Amino acid sequence: MIKLAVVTGMILLVGLMTGCGVEQGDTKAGEKGQVEAVSSDKTEAITPHKGVNQEPVPLVVERVGEKEVNVEMTAQITDIEIAENHFYKAWTFNGQAPGPVVIVKEGDLINFTLKNTDPSIPHSMDFHAVHTAPSKNFADIMPDEQGTFRYTASKPGVFMYHCGTKPVLSHIANGMHGTIIVKPENGYPNDGGIDREFVILQNEWYKYNDLEDFASGEPSHVAFSTKSLDDNGRNTNGDTFTLKKEPLIANVGDRIRMYVNNVGPNEMSSFHVVGTIFDDVYIDGNPFNHMQGLQTVLLPASGGAIVEFTVKEAGDYPIVTHQFNHAEKGAVAILRVDGPDDK
């Protein structure tokens, strides 16, 4: 059975690389809410993904010791609305793209289990937050199997995670990316003064499952999403509209911290919040990398940061990448600040 899965996976991988397949994966909602093909000039979804739209599975993070945590994630195929009425049959972690944010503490031993419920191809997990041999601990998990890996999160920060299965670009660009935050053992310098925290992720979308377009094309959409830092917050997908229609909310006088991460796969982000200055910035989220008074933070593909600032007047503050070709393609969110202006 395992051998069969391996062989099937390899055949399908070859298929992916050569662009074979029979189903459209880049779709729009029809009049009756059904999903139908948009056009015929885009690379097609692979056959085994036809009709597959798996319900999101919750992330599992369970602390089992003072310095040990179990993390369980699921590789799955789930439709993501990347622009209004424009659905993408994404390859995902836990049915979200980007995937849910994982939070651990500096020094934690992570017992990481990946369940692969994709019916057809292998997936894997590459955490940027650890030192380990990729060939050993970022190994492929075959369809309908699971594997457990162990490594220590020895550096604090805001790190990208992504699927590392070949072709890596296809797995990331199809949606298998996200953020792991490793909280510093002794916290951040301003922990006591923060009123609100948000996660903001940037990612790109391209023609559906088209490795050539991933490699040589321009993104069709550039998206922002927010992720919950606890069990009660919002988890939005990387899309062009949700954080405009339903802004992030704060009050006048709030000291705000944003954990930001550009999960790419290809483009840089010039992260900027219109109408404010980042008082304190920690590049890649490491307290050692402290900078002050920045207007824009450059995030390379995979790069992260923590930005902190105070909102002094009521109103709407656009969150953008200052590469405005990408803002035009969707990468704008709104921070709505309520309350009197006199604080």
Give 96 or 270: the residue with its C-beta nearer to Cu ion: 96
> Binding of Cu ion at residue 176 (CB under 5 A)?
yes
| Min separation Cβ 161 and Cu ion, Å | 11
**Subset of 21-50 contacting Cu ion (CB under 5 A):** none
Give 170 or 270: the residue with its C-beta nearer to Cu ion: 170
- One symbol per residue from 58 to 97: x for binding Cu ion (CB under 5 A), - otherwise; what is it? ----------------------------------------
Distances from the Cα of 35 to the Cα of 26, 49, 52, 126, 167, angstroms: 9, 14, 12, 32, 27
| Min separation Cβ 97 and Cu ion, Å | 11
Give 108 or 126: the residue with its C-beta nearer to Cu ion: 126
Query: From CA 199, how far away is CA 153, in angstroms rounded?
Result: 20
> Binding of Cu ion at residue 123 (CB under 5 A)?
yes
CA nearest neighbour of 111 among 102, 122, 101, 119: 102
Does residue 262 contact residue 268 with C-beta atoms inside 8 Å? yes
Who contacts 241 (Cβ-Cβ below 8 Å, separation ≥6)?
A: 83, 84, 330
Give 163 or 250: the residue with its C-beta nearer to Cu ion: 163
Select from 62-70, 168-176, 213-221, 229-237 the region that touches Cu ion (CB under 5 A).
168-176
CA nearest neighbour of 76 among 97, 89, 91: 91
Select from 56-64, 101-109, 166-174, 249-257 the region that touches Cu ion (CB under 5 A).
166-174
Sign of the CA dihedral with 86 first, then 91, 93, and 98 last? negative
| Min separation Cβ 256 and Cu ion, Å | 34
Residues in contact with Cu ion, total (CB under 5 A)?
Answer: 5
Give 44 or 106: the residue with its C-beta nearer to Cu ion: 44
Query: From CA 230, how far away is CA 200, in angstroms rounded?
Result: 15
Does residue 311 contact residue 253 with C-beta atoms inside 8 Å? yes
**Subset of 324-343 contacting Cu ion (CB under 5 A):** none
Give 101 or 163: the residue with its C-beta nearer to Cu ion: 163
Instruction: Work out which of 46, 158, 160, 163 binds Cu ion, going by CB under 5 A.
Output: 163
Residue 113's H or E segment, with its range, is: strand 109-116
Instruction: Work out which of 74, 165, 220, 321 binds Cu ion, going by CB under 5 A.
Output: 165
Buried b (16+ CB within 10 A) or exposed e, 125-147: bbbbbbeeeeeebbbbbbbeeeb
Q: Which two tokens stand for residue 237?
A: 């997908």
> Binding of Cu ion at residue 177 (CB under 5 A)?
no
| Min separation Cβ 116 and Cu ion, Å | 8
| Min separation Cβ 296 and Cu ion, Å | 32
Give 25 or 156: the residue with its C-beta nearer to Cu ion: 25
CA nearest neighbour of 157 among 67, 84, 260, 62: 260
Give 12 or 256: the residue with its C-beta nearer to Cu ion: 12
Select from 28-36, 37-45, 155-163, 188-196 the region that touches Cu ion (CB under 5 A).
155-163
The residue nearest Cu ion at its CB is 163
Does residue 268 contact residue 301 with C-beta atoms inside 8 Å? yes
| Min separation Cβ 283 and Cu ion, Å | 28
| Min separation Cβ 146 and Cu ion, Å | 14
Query: From CA 309, how far away is CA 126, in angstroms rounded?
Result: 31
Query: From CA 247, how far away is CA 334, in angstroms rounded?
Result: 5
| Min separation Cβ 171 and Cu ion, Å | 3
Q: Which residues bind Cu ion (CB under 5 A)?
A: 123, 163, 165, 171, 176
